[in-house]
Chains A and B, each alone.
Chain A
């Protein structure tokens, strides 16, 4: 026994009909892991399935359908009503652009709450994707001196104008570049989306975004069953878990079906415009041709698809 040579020899002799230590450990380990996985999967099937899956973009259509189905069942159970989770694909030959008429906006914040209503943001702790900045006419566009907490009795105030800011859907998005796990990316129609199941909540994108457009779910989002908008999109307004980042998606569940975003429709002064940048006859192309247009923080080369303009 003490002679290493002898032991070696005997092992070699018996290799044909003896399970060696290494393969035994690997085999046993795998069996054990499979058993654990099966147990956990049996108790809550969706969780492990989603934990082990590929990135959403790389999934086969069948697998996507399974995941959407699973989510629909989960949300319907949680909210006690039918919830639809779609993954409507981008349209061919469409790149979305947004226009906002600074000369018209009165700062009434109807868009802020219409957005919350449409996109299932947490009510408390509060998350709002649109932030309306009040600026002094005297100073012009000056983000540093702006105020988001104004509340006069009536708007517009004579000495102020208002600049609503949400995700600018940049062509060169800093948030996408910094994401360490590729949980956020740019779709072919220009919408920057987030896969909430892939986001690890590191918040790098929030610090990279120069527009403060991204928001973090510090706690479990609170939204009642009656308040929930049951028409959702996987990459957009489906209910979010705690610990993920979210932001404006141009109402991806609406615009991919041809509808205007909710903020466009609610705006009482019609300051918000939306359309296809590749269509020369669209509202967007008209206003870019005919009006004075600018983007926020142009010097950062983020190249937003969100254009502010002056119609008068």
Chain B
């Protein structure tokens, strides 16, 4: 063996006497029975693994509870309005000469007829005590910033139909973004530039701006979680032959 290695390295042609590789390496191979047994073990374990994963995974190796089997279409969600019409404000702005200038839609009040506030509050004495509201507005629970925040940080005790900035400027409810912008300055700037918030309309012209309160409840501003629409059909369940919807 050593001789054949040396001749190979030296590049000497010695085909006549050189032993075949099988003869040389034969004594280093496992005995036939051991290797067979090893192969068998590997084969059985692999097939068991495959069988197990198929049984566990169901059709297409996906859990039986996993989605992505049914093809959903927009028509399956009639509650969602996919064809968005332009809002009145945008329509007005595009029809006028001074395109792009428009008002935000009216503020989203919790109930019909709750505004103007003075309807009720004009005759009521102002109670400046910090308290949990019980008789009326009891649906309001403040979850907004520090614990000592309360109604009159934003609402104007002397005239409830307006909001009050920290510098005592009174503003209408339709300008509430100025109030929010006192603390959320960077978001306010992004909103003005069109980066924060939803826009419907023209990328090169009039578009609807929403008030902060249209998406964030001012008393509890965290965005409410949504139910996601269903996932796409997994490739293994795509049935090109079946034209009809299941």
Q: Chain A's nearest CB lies how many Å from the CB of B244?
A: 7
The distance in angstroms between the C-alpha atoms of A222 and B243, with both chains bound, is 7
Contact with A along B187-226 (1 / 0, CB 8 A): 0001001111111111111010000000100000001011
Q: Quick check: is B29 within 8 A (CB to CB) of the other chain?
A: no
| B241 and A260 within 8 A (CB) | no
Q: Chain A's nearest CB lies how many Å from the CB of B186?
A: 8
Q: Chain A's nearest CB lies how many Å from the CB of B183?
A: 15
Residues of B within 8 Å of A112, CB to CB, are 229, 232
Q: How many residues of B contact A (CB 8 A)?
A: 49
Q: Quick check: is A234 within 8 A (CB to CB) of the other chain?
A: no
Q: Quick check: is B66 within 8 A (CB to CB) of the other chain?
A: yes
A270-B71 contact, Cβ under 8 Å, with A108-B228, A149-B231, A151-B230: no
Residues of A within 8 Å of B231, CB to CB, are 109, 148-151
The distance in angstroms between the C-alpha atoms of A286 and B198, with both chains bound, is 16
Set A149, A153, A265, A291: member contacting B200, Cβ < 8 A: A265
Set B67, B71, B199, B207: member contacting A124, Cβ < 8 A: B71
Q: Quick check: is A28 within 8 A (CB to CB) of the other chain?
A: no
Q: Quick check: is B74 within 8 A (CB to CB) of the other chain?
A: yes
Q: Chain B's nearest CB lies how many Å from the CB of A113?
A: 5
| A106 and B223 within 8 A (CB) | yes
A223 to chain B: closest residue by CB: B73
Residues of B within 8 Å of A269, CB to CB, are 198, 215, 223
Contact with B along A187-223 (1 / 0, CB 8 A): 0000000000000000000000000000000111010
Q: Quick check: is A71 within 8 A (CB to CB) of the other chain?
A: no
Set A149, A155, A226, A273: member contacting B225, Cβ < 8 A: A155
| B245 and A123 within 8 A (CB) | yes
Q: Quick check: is B234 within 8 A (CB to CB) of the other chain?
A: yes
A218-B193 contact, Cβ under 8 Å, with A117-B74, A151-B228, A259-B203: no
| A113 and B229 within 8 A (CB) | yes
A106-B226 contact, Cβ under 8 Å, with A114-B74, A116-B74, A125-B238: yes
A-binding segment of B39-47, B77-85, B121-129 = B77-85
Do most interface residues of chain B lie in helix, strand or loop, or is the interface mixed?
loop
Which size bracket describes the interface of A in this complex? 35 or more
| A258 and B243 within 8 A (CB) | no
A283-B195 contact, Cβ under 8 Å, with A112-B229, A124-B244, A269-B223: yes
Residues of B within 8 Å of A270, CB to CB, are 196-199, 215
B 166-197 contacts with A by CB, 8 A: 190, 193-197
Residues of A within 8 Å of B234, CB to CB, are 149
| B67 and A276 within 8 A (CB) | no
Q: Quick check: is B227 within 8 A (CB to CB) of the other chain?
A: yes
A220 to chain B: closest residue by CB: B243
A154-B194 contact, Cβ under 8 Å, with A219-B241, A227-B74, A265-B84: no
Q: Quick check: is A311 within 8 A (CB to CB) of the other chain?
A: yes
| B201 and A151 within 8 A (CB) | no
The distance in angstroms between the C-alpha atoms of A153 and B67, with both chains bound, is 12
Q: Quick check: is B88 within 8 A (CB to CB) of the other chain?
A: no
Q: Quick check: is B147 within 8 A (CB to CB) of the other chain?
A: no
The distance in angstroms between the C-alpha atoms of A101 and B199, with both chains bound, is 14
Residues of A within 8 Å of B73, CB to CB, are 113, 116, 123-124, 126, 227
| B196 and A311 within 8 A (CB) | yes
Q: Quick check: is A77 within 8 A (CB to CB) of the other chain?
A: no
Q: Chain B's nearest CB lies how many Å from the CB of A102?
A: 13
Task: Enumerate chain B interface residues (CB-CB to A < 8 A).
Answer: 66-68, 71-75, 77, 80, 82-84, 190, 193-205, 207, 215, 223, 225-234, 238-246
Sample 27 A-B pairs with CB under 8 A, ordered by A number. Answer: A107-B228, A108-B226, A110-B80, A113-B229, A117-B83, A118-B82, A124-B71, A124-B73, A124-B239, A124-B246, A125-B71, A126-B73, A128-B232, A131-B232, A149-B68, A151-B67, A154-B227, A227-B73, A258-B203, A258-B205, A259-B201, A259-B202, A260-B202, A283-B193, A283-B195, A286-B194, A290-B195
Identify 10 new A-B residue pairs, CB closer than 8 A, beyond the known A125-B238, A258-B205.
A106-B225, A113-B74, A149-B234, A153-B227, A154-B225, A259-B202, A265-B84, A265-B200, A268-B198, A290-B190
